[in-house]
Amino acid sequence: MFGRLSKVEKTILYILLIVVGAILSAPFLYMVSISLASQASTSKMTFSFIPHEFEWRNYIRVFTDKQITRWFFNSIILVVFSIIGQVFASSFVAYGFARLKARGKNIIFMILLSTMMIPPQVTMIPQFVIFEKLGWINTLLPIIVPNFCGGAFNIFLTRQFIVSIPFSLDDAAKIDGLGFFGIYWKIILPLIRPTLFMIAILTFNYNWGAFMEPLIYINDIERMPLALGVQILSATRSAGAAPEWNIVMVASMLLTLPMIFVFFLGQKQIFEMNIIAGSNTNK
């Protein structure tokens, strides 16, 4: 596309992209500036867009704060188990829909897809009642366990990729003595690796920034994940005093940077997935 543009058009396009990029990155830069502000600037709310103070002690304070580090490790536990559950449950269910021959399979698949049209607010109260009966309230289980049932979108996405894999590979694997689970583990999973990475990235971003579910199910501050903890931190104040916004922004940086890192880490896999999706569409 860019090869067909003239030098003037390329220059205008790059300038436009730089301007848009600068506008989109402005809030992040302001967050960095506030996170490096001194306690005096925080008390007076005299923040600057470009950092002119460099109080690195704010970062040290956050990493040595037992409550914030506890929130951080709660988030790690949440995303690790959620990723494991989503990746294996979604891929295995999708494998069944793509390879098993059973009556009514397509009807069940359509019912599964129809659940994506149900607003989460509709099922919020029934889910809370169920988890309360199980004694899971005030734990991470109501957020983690549903991931081991897979997700409708992830199952649909994975099934589309598995369907594009030739059945001849399954036949060859059966000749070598592999069964249903063996084909899934040794043949299908390696071939759909870009899709699994995509599911892992989406699951990480959703659960790392999860706010509504922890707010509903978790009451103990010590058991909260980081996303909810940052909100609690920003709302905590003594009479007539404002929150320590520099510390809040440092905690927000701790919440934001892992998402950026995971995205760049999985960028290659997302690119490969787009190529495969494009090739499947052209068939």
Tell me what pLDDT residue 271 has: 67
Output the domain CATH number for residue 100.
1.10.3720.10
> Is residue 158 over pLDDT 80?
yes
Using the 3D structure, point to which of 9, 26, 55 is the last residue of a domain.
55
Q: Would you say residue 277 lies in a domain?
A: yes
Query: CA of 174: how far to CAs of 168, 170, 180, 250, in Å?
Result: 10, 6, 9, 55
Provide, rounded to the nearest whole percent, the portion of the chain with pLDDT above 90.
Answer: 41
Verify that 152 and 181 share a domain, yes or no.
yes
Tell me what pLDDT residue 131 has: 95
**Residue 241 or residue 207, greater confidence:** 207
Distance from C-alpha of 89 to C-alpha of 128, rounded to nearest angstrom: 22
As for how many domains the chain has, the answer is 2
Tell me what pLDDT residue 129 has: 94
pLDDT band at 44 (very low <50, low <70, confident <90, very high): confident
Q: Would you say residue 48 lies in a domain?
A: yes
Q: Would you say residue 60 lies in a domain?
A: no
Q: Would you say residue 10 lies in a domain?
A: yes
Q: What is the pLDDT of residues 131-143, one digit of tens each?
A: 999 999 999 999 9
> Is residue 191 over pLDDT 50?
yes
**Chain centroid to CA 234:** 23
Verify that 181 and 219 share a domain, yes or no.
yes
What H or E segment, with its residue span, contains residue 237? none
Q: What is the pLDDT of residues 238-282, one digit of tens each?
A: 445 677 888 889 988 888 888 888 888 877 766 666 655 555 544
Verify that 137 and 265 share a domain, yes or no.
yes
State the distance between the two ends of the chain, measured CA to CA, in whole angstroms.
Answer: 23
**Residue 283 or residue 183, greater confidence:** 183
Q: Would you call 268 helix, strand, or coil by DSSP? A: helix
* CB-facing half-sphere around the CA of 117: CA atoms within 13 A: 5
Task: Give the other-Cβ count within 10 Å of 189's Cβ.
Answer: 18
Provide, rounded to the nearest whole percent, the portion of the chain with pLDDT above 70.
Answer: 92
Q: Would you say residue 26 lies in a domain?
A: yes
Using the 3D structure, point to which of 55, 73, 101 is the last residue of a domain.
55
* CB-facing half-sphere around the CA of 92: CA atoms within 13 A: 14
